[in-house]
């Protein structure tokens, strides 16, 4: 098997259940503005487009109009609070580490391509003891572009030492499906993540409902990869 096989993962809602800490940070910001907190169960679908967009979505729920300066200030407050509490309740999804062990033994390398800031992504994965598993951890600020722009995926794969022709994307929402389609690679959707559109409606090449199903889904997509030997 070629050594160039690469699996690229989204982070929030794909590798790690980060919703509790993200929504706690959002509620910290909302409450500082005298706004009501957002219940966790209804806020999960708001996650995935980065910190600023999450803050904007939270503020919009109350119908108030916030200017650029206020949004910048509240986003900064959000990031400061979130960084201090980044792994209070966030945990890898069940079955993740076993799946990575299995796929790593098959010769895959792993990378993270997220719309989270790079330093926050690395901090989270460090706190969870997962950073060592990834050849590259890239965020929306790493290359100055965010998903679904294919440039972020292309450059993440290059930084990991892989080849796009031998890469599979794994994600939970529209930006992940979109970036894979635009980059011309297969994509696996996870049904346990954060999305305002059901992941099945976005037509990923394979769907999984538990991380233990990931190795089989990857194997099913292997014939679609253009592998060099």
Distance CA 195, CA 53 (A): 14
Residue with tokens 């030997």: 229
The rounded Cα 140 to chain-centroid distance in angstroms is 11
Which is it for strands 6-9 and 109-113: parallel, antiparallel or unpaired?
Answer: parallel
Report the distance separating Cα 106 and Cα 2, nearest Å.
10
Phi-psi region of 129 (alpha: psi -120 to 50; beta: other; left: phi over 0): left
Backbone φ and ψ for 206, nearest 5 degrees, come out as -145, 155
In this structure, are residues 16 and 91 in contact, taking their beta carbons and an 8 Å threshold? yes
Choosing from 10, 17, 21, 172, the catalytic residue is 10
10 catalytic residue (yes or no) = yes
Q: Catalogue the active-site residues.
A: 10
């Amino acid at each position: 098997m070629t050594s160039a096989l690469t699996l690229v993962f989204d982070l929030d809602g794909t590798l790690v259940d980060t919703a509790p800490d993200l929504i706690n940070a959002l509620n910290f910001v909302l409450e500082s503005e005298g706004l009501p907190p957002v219940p966790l169960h209804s806020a999960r679908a708001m996650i995935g487009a980065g910190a600023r967009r999450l803050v904007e979505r939270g503020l919009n729920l109350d119908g108030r109009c916030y200017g650029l300066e206020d949004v910048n200030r509240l986003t900064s407050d959000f990031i400061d609070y979130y960084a201090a509490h980044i792994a209070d309740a966030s945990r890898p999804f069940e079955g993740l580490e076993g799946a990575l062990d299995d796929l790593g033994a098959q010769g895959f390398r792993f990378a993270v391509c997220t719309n989270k800031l790079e330093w926050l992504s690395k901090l989270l994965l460090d706190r969870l003891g997962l950073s060592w598993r990834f050849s590259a951890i890239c965020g929306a600020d790493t290359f100055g572009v965010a998903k679904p722009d294919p440039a972020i995926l292309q450059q993440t794969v290059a930084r990991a030492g892989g080849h796009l022709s031998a890469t599979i994307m794994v994600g939970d929402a529209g930006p992940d499906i979109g970036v894979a389609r635009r980059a011309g690679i297969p994509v696996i959707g996870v049904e346990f993540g954060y999305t305002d559109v059901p992941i099945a409606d976005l037509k990923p090449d394979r769907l999984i409902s538990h991380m233990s199903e990931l190795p089989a889904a990857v194997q099913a997509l292997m014939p679609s990869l253009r592998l060099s030997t």
